[in-house]
């Protein structure tokens, strides 16, 4: 197990370094600069160059990369060119929206997927099992933004039960903040739940066809009892992997949901800063997300290793 952990940690560190270089090159390679965007089309080349120089964007790329990484390692994520706000402050202020949105969306997705997927697998030969499978397929095909717009139209415009969008701060009005999140969480959770249902169903079906489950059933256990006592641990492995991967997808999904519902979350902040070529804000924030997602996947890998000894022996 220690070798397995060391190998996974080394891979994690290498991936983080590679990601930092990729992020740096991608945002620089996209062209354009923040000075030109701030100053607009009427600015002279001299004014743009002067502002770029002020921001340090005229320095060699290598110097800029190591400067950024050096500061990052010391916990300094940098400052916005446009407002001089610390990136740390910007990120922290957005997390109070993005974390509840992502966590609630994921929980809702799991709350839908685990019972629905399991029930569908256990009843795969009945119409209800086929119906759940069908609905999950429909759910996968529905774009998140479309689900969001429909929910907003129905519950916001038509029925007037919930806000169509916008954000109320937690400290201004707690229930207002909760209400702001209901529709975005449902949009994310239902769509996520649909795709997770498929994975859960497949995993349970796979486990139910294994010899050890058949043996357990031969001892007189019911299907449910055999699943819970023997199959669950094995079915959890692929599901855990998929949930880990879905977290990255979830962050992608929040970009759209935050835009549809006008939530000032982390994803929307990144999108706006990419458009404005706020390179430091984008680099640092995306790096944080990459580290987070990789860390989750590292945890999943370690969990996998703990649950299944065979995994520890593979290269």
Please report how close the Cβ of residue 128 comes to another protein at its closest, in angstroms: 8
Contact call for residue 160 and another protein (CB under 8 A): yes
Give the three-state DSSP class for 123: coil
Number of residues lying near another protein (CB under 8 A): 58
Q: Which of 28, 248, 259, 296 binds another protein (CB under 8 A)?
A: 259
Q: Residue by residue, what is the 3-state secondary structure of 54-101?
A: HCCCCCCHHHHHHHHHHHHHCCCCCECCCCCCEHHHHHHHHHHHHHHH
Contact call for residue 150 and another protein (CB under 8 A): yes
Q: Which of 100, 176, 238, 264 binds another protein (CB under 8 A)?
A: 264
Q: Which of 152, 202, 246, 284 binds another protein (CB under 8 A)?
A: 152
Q: Mark the segment that binds another protein (CB under 8 A) among 67-75, 182-190, 235-243, 265-273.
A: 265-273
Contact call for residue 134 and another protein (CB under 8 A): yes
Q: Mark the segment that binds another protein (CB under 8 A) among 159-167, 201-209, 223-231, 241-249.
A: 159-167
Contact pattern for another protein over residues 194 through 223, marking x by CB under 8 A: ------------------------------
Retrieve residue 275's tokens. 């458009």
CA dihedral 244, 245, 248, 253 (to 10 degrees): -110
CA atoms within 13 A on the CB side of 44: 3
Contact call for residue 127 and another protein (CB under 8 A): yes
Tally helices (H) and strands (E) across the chain.
14, 0
Residue listed under structure tokens 């007037």: 160
Q: Mark the segment that binds another protein (CB under 8 A) among 41-49, 56-64, 205-213, 292-300.
A: 41-49
Q: For the chain, first and last CA: distance in Å?
A: 12
């Amino acid at each position: 197990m220690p070798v397995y952990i060391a190998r996974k940690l080394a891979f994690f560190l290498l991936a983080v370094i590679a990601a930092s270089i990729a992020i740096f090159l991608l945002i620089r390679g996209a062209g354009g600069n923040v000075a030109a965007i701030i100053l607009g089309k009427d600015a002279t080349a001299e004014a743009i160059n002067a502002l770029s120089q002020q921001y340090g964007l005229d320095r060699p790329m290598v110097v800029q990369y190591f400067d950024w990484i050096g500061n990052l390692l010391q916990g300094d994520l940098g400052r916005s060119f446009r407002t001089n706000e610390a990136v740390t402050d910007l990120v922290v202020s957005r997390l109070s929206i993005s974390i509840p949105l992502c966590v609630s969306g994921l929980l809702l997705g799991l709350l839908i997927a685990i019972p629905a997927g399991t029930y569908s697998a256990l009843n795969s030969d009945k119409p209800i099992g086929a119906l759940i499978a069908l609905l999950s397929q429909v759910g996968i095909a529905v774009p998140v933004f479309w689900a969001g717009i429909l929910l907003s139209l129905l519950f916001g415009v038509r029925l007037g039960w919930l806000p169509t969008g916008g954000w109320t701060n937690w400290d201004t009005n707690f229930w207002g903040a909760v209400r702001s999140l209901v529709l975005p969480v449902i949009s994310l959770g239902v769509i996520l739940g649909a795709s997770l249902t498929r994975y859960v169903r497949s995993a349970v079906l796979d486990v139910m066809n294994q010899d050890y489950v058949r043996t357990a059933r031969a001892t007189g256990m019911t299907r449910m009892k055999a699943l819970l006592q023997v199959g669950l641990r094995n079915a959890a492995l692929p599901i855990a992997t998929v949930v880990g991967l879905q977290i990255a997808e979830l962050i992608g999904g929040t970009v759209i949901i935050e835009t549809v519902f006008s939530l000032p979350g982390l994803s929307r902040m990144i999108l706006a800063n990419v458009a404005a070529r706020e390179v430091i804000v984008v680099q640092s924030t995306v790096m944080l997300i990459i580290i987070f997602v990789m860390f989750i996947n590292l945890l999943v890998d370690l969990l996998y290793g703990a649950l299944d000894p065979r995994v520890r022996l593979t290269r």
